[in-house]
Amino acid sequence: MARKQFTAEEHSVRLLRVGERVRHVLSEILARQQVHDDTLSAHSVSVTEVRMTPDLRQATVYVKPLLGADEDAVVKALQQNTAYLQREVAKRLGLKFAAKLKFRADESFEEADRIERLLSDPRVRRDLDDGEEG
């Protein structure tokens, strides 16, 4: 039986859809504290994004503990429990292969704050205001 060929757009949508499903499963596991780890039990962890590779074999999982507390410890605890989380994701999603999970701290919030601070700088504000008048 021939494999279905995806167009580039269908492939992109499929990656996003699978990534979002992985994010929901991981969020549910962490919210219900199904990982028996003291560090993870002591923190509320948000899974902010999951980026899948085109072959769906690897997933980069971006996480943020509530209030950003102990971010490094939380990421380390997730990395130590990767095997359990990979098995659970594969089992719950019924995927042919268990995606290899890589946990990273989500730094997008810090980047947004940095940009906001730059834009609110009086010198930048002056330049932006000059550009709107012309």
The reported pLDDT for the residue numbered 3 is 47
Assigned fold of 8-106:
GMP Synthetase; Chain A, domain 3 (3.30.300)
Query: How high is the mean pLDDT of the chain?
Result: 83
Contact predicate 72/34, CB 8 Å: no
Amino acid, res. 112 = A
Whether pLDDT at 1 is above 50: no
The reported pLDDT for the residue numbered 94 is 86
Kindly state the tokens that stand for 53: 């590779």
**83 vs 6, 34, 80, CA distance in Å?**
30, 14, 8
Identify the sign of the CA torsion 117, 123, 124, 128. positive
Over residues 84-102, the mean pLDDT reads: 89
Contact predicate 103/79, CB 8 Å: yes
